[in-house]
C-alpha cells in the first residue's frame, strides 16, 4: 500500500512541502485544473506537474480526475472527438509513467453535500448530506444555491443539461458508459495506465438524474464490459458507505479478489437517517464504516496500490477547501497506516 494525499496544485493552500512532512505519505494525487473539460491534456503540462511533485520529494501516483465531458455521458454525436481527446490524455499519462487514473461518470454533478460546515459536538465542522434538504434546492437559478464545489453552471446552461438528461435513463447511461470504456480502456491497457472509476457520491440518484455506480453489482458489471486489468475501480469507503445496504468488506473481497481495485479512498460516515449522513473522523468507532474490516479485506485481496485519506473535518481553526484541510486528513493518514501496520505485521 502506498499512502498518498490529494493536492489541488499551486492554488492549494497546503503546499507540497507540508504534505511531505506527514509521516509515511509518499504519493500525491493531483490533476491539471485549468484545462477545459473535453480538451486533451498537453503532455508538457502533465510533465511539469510530475516534475513539481518530484522536486518536492514526492511522486505523482494518481491523476484524479480527468473529467468526462457531458456529451460523452449523454451519448451526443460530438462524443467521438471527445473520447479521442480523453484517450490522448490517458496516453500522455502512460508515457510519463503515471500509473492510475481516478475518474467518475456522474451526470452533471460530482460529489454533492447539503452542508459544508455542520458543527459537531467537539466544535469541529464536517460535510453533511440530507436528501430532504437537497430536494429544497432550487436549480432554476443555476448552481448558485448548491453548496459544494460542483462545476458552476448558469441557469440557461444547467436548464439545457437537465432537459437533455430527460432522454437518458440508467440503462442509456450504462450504454454510453460502455461506449466510453470500449474506446478508452484498451488505450489505457496498452500504455500501462490503470483506470479507477470513482463510485457515485452519494450512491443514489439526485435531482432526478440517474446514478449507476452505486454498489458492488455495478463494479462487477462495469469491469466485465471491457474485461481487461486496466478497467478497475476506486474503492471509496465513504461514498459506498453512505448506503447502509452496501456491505463494504464483501464488496472489497469481490472486486478486489479479481484484482480490480486500483485506488482506495478511506473515509468514515455516520448515518443520521434515511439518505442522511455526515462525515466523521476516520477511525471506525466514530462512524458506520468498519475501517478495520475494510483494510483487512483490502490486505487479504492483495491490495498494493495507492490509498488516500479522503475528506477530513475542519479542526484546530483551519479554514480552506471543504473536506480538504491539512490537519484532519493528516490524522487520517497516520491512523490508516497504524491500522495497516497492525493488520499486515
Where along the sequence are the contacts to ligand DNO (CB under 6 A)?
Answer: 64-65, 102-104, 110-111, 198, 265, 311, 323
Identify whether 265 is a catalytic site residue.
yes
Is 111 or 165 the residue whose CB approaches ligand DNO more closely?
111
Is 36 or 121 the residue whose CB approaches ligand DNO more closely?
36
Identify whether 198 is a catalytic site residue.
yes
Residue 28 bridge partners (DSSP): 5, 60
Is 111 or 303 the residue whose CB approaches ligand DNO more closely?
111
Identify whether 311 is a catalytic site residue.
yes
Catalytic residue of the set 130, 200, 310, 328: 310
Supply the minimum distance, in Å, between the C-beta of residue 123 and ligand DNO.
Answer: 23
Supply the minimum distance, in Å, between the C-beta of residue 108 and ligand DNO.
Answer: 12
The secondary structure of 219-266 as a DSSP string is HHHHHHHT-STTEEEEEEHHHHHTSTT--HHHHIIIIIHTT-EEEEEE
Identify whether 310 is a catalytic site residue.
yes
Identify whether 33 is a catalytic site residue.
no
Catalytic residue of the set 153, 165, 324, 335: 324
Catalytic residue of the set 198, 266, 328, 335: 198
Is 150 or 191 the residue whose CB approaches ligand DNO more closely?
150
Supply the minimum distance, in Å, between the C-beta of residue 5 and ligand DNO.
Answer: 13
| CA distance between the termini of the chain | 13
Q: Shortest CA distance to 103 belongs to which of 246, 331, 225, 262? A: 262
State whether residue 44 is helix, strand or coil: helix
Catalytic residue of the set 265, 266, 328, 335: 265
Cell reading at 331: 490524522
- C-alpha distances (whole Å) from 317 to each of 9, 15, 149, 327, 331 are 23, 18, 21, 10, 15
* Torsion, CA 201, CA 202, CA 207, CA 211, rounded to 10: 60
Residue 208 has, within 13 A of its CA and on its CB side, a CA count of: 11
Supply the minimum distance, in Å, between the C-beta of residue 345 and ligand DNO.
Answer: 30
Is 117 or 343 the residue whose CB approaches ligand DNO more closely?
117
Question: How wide is the angle at C-alpha 106 spanned by C-alphas 100 and 108, nearest 5°?
Answer: 125
Supply the minimum distance, in Å, between the C-beta of residue 247 and ligand DNO.
Answer: 21
Catalytic residue of the set 92, 103, 129, 236: 236
Identify whether 266 is a catalytic site residue.
no
Instruction: State the sign of the Cα–Cα–Cα–Cα dihedral 231, 234, 237, 240.
Output: negative
Query: Which residues are tagged catalytic?
Result: 198, 236, 265, 310-311, 324
Amino acid at each position: 500500500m502506498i499512502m498518498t494525499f490529494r493536492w489541488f496544485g499551486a492554488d492549494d493552500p497546503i503546499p507540497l512541502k507540508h504534505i511531505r512532512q506527514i509521516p509515511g505519505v509518499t504519493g500525491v494525487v493531483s490533476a491539471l485544473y485549468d484545462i477545459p473539460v473535453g480538451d486533451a491534456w498537453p503532455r508538457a503540462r502533465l510533465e511539469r506537474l510530475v516534475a513539481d511533485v518530484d522536486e518536492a520529494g514526492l511522486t505523482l501516483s494518481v491523476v484524479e480526475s480527468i473529467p468526462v465531458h457531458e456529451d460523452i455521458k449523454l451519448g451526443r454525436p460530438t462524443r467521438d472527438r471527445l473520447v479521442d481527446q480523453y484517450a490522448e490524455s490517458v496516453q500522455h499519462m502512460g508515457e510519463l509513467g503515471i500509473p492510475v487514473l481516478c475518474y467518475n461518470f456522474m451526470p452533471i454533478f460530482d460529489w454533492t453535500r447539503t452542508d459544508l460546515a455542520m458543527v459537531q459536538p467537539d466544535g469541529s465542522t464536517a460535510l453533511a448530506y440530507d436528501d430532504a434538504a437537497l430536494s429544497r434546492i432550487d436549480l432554476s437559478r443555476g448552481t448558485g444555491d448548491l453548496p459544494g464545489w460542483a462545476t458552476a453552471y448558469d441557469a440557461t446552461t444547467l436548464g439545457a443539461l437537465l432537459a437533455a438528461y430527460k432522454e437518458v435513463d440508467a440503462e442509456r447511461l450504462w450504454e454510453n458508459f460502455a461506449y466510453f470504456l470500449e474506446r478508452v480502456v484498451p488505450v489505457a491497457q496498452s500504455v500501462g495506465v490503470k483506470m479507477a472509476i470513482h463510485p457515485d457520491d452519494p450512491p443514489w440518484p439526485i435531482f432526478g438524474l440517474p446514478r449507476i455506480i452505486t454498489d458492488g453489482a455495478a463494479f462487477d458489471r462495469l469491469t466485465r464490459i471491457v474485461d481487461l486489468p486496466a478497467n478497475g475501480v476506486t474503492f471509496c469507503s465513504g461514498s459506498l458507505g453512505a448506503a447502509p445496504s452496501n456491505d463494504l468488506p464483501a464488496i472489497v473481497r469481490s472486486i478486489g479478489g479479481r484484482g480490480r481495485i486500483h485506488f482506495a479512498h478511506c473515509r468514515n460516515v455516520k448515518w443520521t437517517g434515511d439518505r442522511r449522513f455526515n462525515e466523521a473522523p476516520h477511525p471506525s468507532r466514530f462512524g458506520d464504516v468498519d475501517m478495520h474490516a475494510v483494510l483487512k479485506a483490502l490486505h487479504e485481496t492483495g491490495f498494493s496500490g495507492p490509498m488516500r485519506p479522503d475528506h477530513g473535518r475542519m479542526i484546530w481553526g483551519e479554514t480552506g477547501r471543504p473536506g480538504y484541510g491539512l490537519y484532519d486528513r493528516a490524522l487520517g493518514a497516520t491512523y490508516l497506516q497504524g491500522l495497516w501496520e497492525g493488520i499486515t505485521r
